Amino acid sequence: MRWRGGTPSRAPEYIDLPHLDASPKRAIRGFTRLFAKRSDGLLYGIEPDGTETGMGGGGGSVATDTIWDAAGDTVVGTGANTAARRMNNDGAAVAPTVNDDSGDGYAIGSRWLDTTADKEYICLDATAGAAVWKETTGSGGTLLASIAAASAAIANTETVVVAATLGAGTLAVGQSFRIRAAGVGTTGATPGADTFRIRIGPTTLTGTIPTSVAPTAIASVTAQPFSFEALLTIRTITASGTIIGECQVLGDEVTTGLFTALVDLSATVATVAVDSTVANLLELTFQSGTAGSSCTFHAATIESLTAGGGGGGGGVSTVDQDISADFVSASDSAWHDITGLTGIVLAAGTWIGLIDLEILCGTSYGAPVRVWDGTTTYAQAELFYSSPVTAISSHWHFATKPLVLGSSTTMAIAIFSDTVVTVKKYPSRGGLSSAIATHVTFLKIS
């Protein structure tokens, strides 16, 4: 060891340490022997018992290295004594998309904070143009459907309160759903029992019932509160799939409240059928005991509790729907919803639609097609049909721009026709019943 600028009795300006190819002998008791390794230039200490310890340090300066320049980014180890910057976005105003990718500097593990929606995301795949971001906010499920406004007063005709479309082939064994609702009820002099049902099936109000509950109502009450919750689980899938559920309804007082019991539980003991190979509607319905009684629902939601999420917001969730039969439009210069491509429920978020139509027309024709909710058109395209043989159908495909929905929205696919146009379920030649040609898929990307 050599001292510079002084002696051992005076403070030195600096100390020279030799760079060694091998560790020196162990230090004497009560001391640590310092040395620098020639192989990496780092400082080490060796103890009296021979233990060798790295003393920290390394190349580069915390104050000047570019790895530290961006506020909010993360520094991660990439190997022995090396590190790299992992880019984060701590001040975004929107959710990430598939285009927030490696080309922008993001990598697996990058964090994204949407300060407008108060949500956090983590990057699971940074592939250019196909990035996958998973929302990490909270521990709740993925919202599939909700009601944006209070329902009308529902009396003794079974009525859908809230519904979600579950795409063909999207159900999985163990997948669970949670349905919640709350509102107020008013009863007549002989109210009977109200009935809350969960239905699942391809057609509204006709699906199988995994669970239901029918609490006895108290006579002559007005605007008394209640809440409802159901939990469902897919047991098996395919055309002979099964589902089971439990539910409960709560009131607030057994003499002046809405129901004669504070809590009324379902008594489900067996599964019911669900065909997972087709698109299904998952519905909460209500029916009062008599015409003089009713319930109004102020809130109702359907959540998927299975891990996943939407595209840029973490994986891709889909809503799929097939046409149920050939649809023939009238020649009346008007828009027509295509039967079988209606009632497509999209939860709040950002979606991209993929529309496939098998068209047959007796003449060359250009037919406008649109995606709309009955009032607002979200996407449209004009598709041209030309065939020298009028008995041969033609396949059309178009993709929408991202559709940003602030609340759950029910969509339909419509066609404008001033000549007769047939939208076919299968191709006109060689069609296989196992592969439907006309269908739509919506991808939730955030």
Q: Got the DSSP string for 339-387?
A: TTS--EEE-SEEEEEEEEEEEEESS-EEEEEEEESSS-EEEEEEEEE--
Name the region of 155 (left: φ>0; alpha: ψ -120 to 50; beta: rest). Answer: beta
pLDDT 10s digits, 316-357: 567 888 888 899 988 888 899 998 899 888 887 788 899 988
**Placement of tokens 């004669």 in the chain:** 260
Residue 68 has phi, psi (to 5 degrees) of -105, 5
Which whole number is the average pLDDT over 155-169? Answer: 92
Which whole number is the average pLDDT over 264-272? Answer: 88
> Does the structure show a pLDDT above 60 at 402?
yes
| Position 34, amino acid | L
To 5 degrees, how large is the angle CA 196–CA 201–CA 205?
45
Give the list of residues 6+ apart from residue 106 with CB closer than 8 angstroms, or none.
Answer: 87, 89, 100, 123, 126, 131
In the structure, how many helices (H) and strands (E) does the chain have?
A: 0, 35
| Position 267, amino acid | A
pLDDT at 129: 83
Higher per-residue confidence, 154 vs 42? 154
> Does the structure show a pLDDT above 80 at 26?
no
Residue ranges of domains in the chain, CATH in brackets: 2-54 (no CATH), 66-135 (no CATH), 142-304 (2.60.120), 311-444 (2.60.120.40)
Q: Is 419 exposed, middle or buried (0-12, 13-18, 19+ CB in 10 A)?
A: middle
